[in-house]
C-alpha cells in the first residue's frame, strides 16, 4: 500500500513550463508580424491559421499586435488629416 507521497497532481510543480515552452516556438518576429497583418485584413486560410496557432510565439504575438494597432491608428490619422486638409470634407 502506497502512502501517495510520490504521486503529485499535474498542477503541482508546474512553474509556468507551458508558457515557457510556448515562448520558445519557432516562428520569427517577422513571420509573426505577417500573420498579424493578415489577421487585420481577416484573410487567412484555415490551414495557415492552424499552423500559426501551433507555431506562433505568444510574446511575439502580443508585441506584433500592439505594433499593428499603432500602425493602423497612425494610418487612420494620416488619412483623416489628408482628407481634412484637401478640402473635400467642407
82 belongs to a structural domain = yes
79 belongs to a structural domain = yes
Count of structural domains, the chain: 1
58 belongs to a structural domain = yes
81 belongs to a structural domain = yes
Q: What is the full per-residue pLDDT of the chain (90 aa) written as tens digits?
A: 555 455 444 444 455 566 566 656 677 888 888 888 888 888 777 787 788 778 888 888 899 999 999 999 999 999 999 999 998 877
Q: What is the pLDDT of residue 80?
A: 94
- What are the CA-CA distances from residue 27 to residues 16, 39, 64, 78 (Å)? 21, 16, 12, 32
What span, in angstroms and rounded, lies between the C-alpha atoms of 31 and 55? Answer: 10
Tell me the residue range of the domain where 61 lies.
18-86
10 belongs to a structural domain = no
Return the biggest CA–CA distance within the chain.
Answer: 86
pTM of model > 0.75:
no
68 belongs to a structural domain = yes
Amino acid at each position: 500500500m502506497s502512502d501517495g507521497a510520490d504521486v503529485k497532481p499535474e498542477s503541482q510543480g508546474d512553474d509556468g513550463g507551458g508558457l515557457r515552452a510556448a515562448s520558445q516556438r519557432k516562428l520569427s518576429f517577422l513571420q509573426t508580424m505577417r500573420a498579424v497583418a493578415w489577421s487585420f485584413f481577416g484573410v487567412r486560410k484555415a490551414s495557415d491559421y492552424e499552423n500559426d496557432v501551433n507555431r506562433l510565439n505568444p510574446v511575439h504575438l502580443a508585441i506584433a499586435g500592439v505594433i499593428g494597432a499603432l500602425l493602423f491608428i497612425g494610418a487612420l490619422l494620416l488619412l483623416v488629416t489628408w482628407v481634412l486638409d484637401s478640402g473635400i470634407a467642407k
